[in-house]
Amino acid sequence: MSAYSNDSGSLVESSLDDGVLVLTLNSASDGNALNVAMTEALSDALEEINDRRDMHCVLLRSSSRHFCTGGNVKDMQSGSDLMSGSVEDVRDRLHRSLHRITRALSGLDVPSVCAVNGAAVGAGCDLALMCDIRVASTKAVFAESFLRLGLVSGIGGSWFLARIVGYAKALELTLTSEFIDAEAALKLGIVSKVVPEDALDTEALSLAKRIAHSPPTALRMAKRLVREAADASLETTLGMAASMQAILLCGREHKEAVDRFLAQQAAKKRTHM
């Protein structure tokens, strides 16, 4: 297991489990708040992923009762951490520090799964939205709660939220700062599954492993094709699909997958004879 730390200990723990990189937020005392230390620890972990070929899916989770409570309100009051200095200083610090997470998560070549337990509010909600798939415990709570503190999402969450729930609902959630539970999040498509609290880690890891077991080159291309298709024209998407499919059809990975499939089918027939 690896750890991304500051002087007070491991803020983000990292382990590889059957092709799944498990990243665990580990700062229970402040609800895994996205201060400078946590931001840099998580960014460091995420920015290493695309250079490794032994990782086929990422699972982002928390070791404490909350997933991530966003910015630290006490730091906001004192004007410390990310909030210190002039308007220009804070803007540049957000761009250089907090936005590293946004770029790294949205730029992952491999799929990402987020296991949400407890609160995912403010920037913590946005962090979950940046992942490709979200699984929630029955005790999960989500909120775009920035307006309660006279703020907007500074990490880019509005871009992800609108694409997940649509413009009107994204605006409603943003302007009301409404807290929604796991079942409401499921109905809105924010999460794809709700499970009991004690089953969350098992269910999320099982999903991540199923994804990670796909042929790795095709897996990366499949994610990229879906992501690009969301904002591309049909003709552009068809061109990408044809190019990717041609590369895969001519590659060793596809041929090996076909051989495995046919061998499995033959074995099933033999067992039923």
Read off the pLDDT of residues 61-120 as tens digits, 9 standing for 90 and up: 999 899 999 987 777 667 666 767 788 888 888 888 899 999 999 999 999 999 999 999
Mean pLDDT, rounded, of the chain: 92
Are 197 and 223 members of one domain?
Answer: no
Q: What residue has token string 């990782």?
A: 55
Tally of domains in the chain: 2
Is the pLDDT score of 216 beyond 60? yes
Are 200 and 86 members of one domain?
Answer: yes
H or E stretch including 23? strand 20-25
Q: Using the 3D structure, point to which of 180, 212, 244 is the last residue of a domain.
A: 212
Q: What is the pLDDT of residues 154-187, one digit of tens each?
A: 999 999 999 999 999 999 999 999 999 999 999 9
56 touches 64 (CB < 8 A): no
Are 172 and 267 members of one domain?
Answer: no
Are 69 and 190 members of one domain?
Answer: yes
Strand order in the sheet with 179-181: 119-121, 141-143, 179-181
Give the span between the Cα atoms of 194 and 179, in whole angstroms. 17
CATH classification at residue 224: 1.10.12
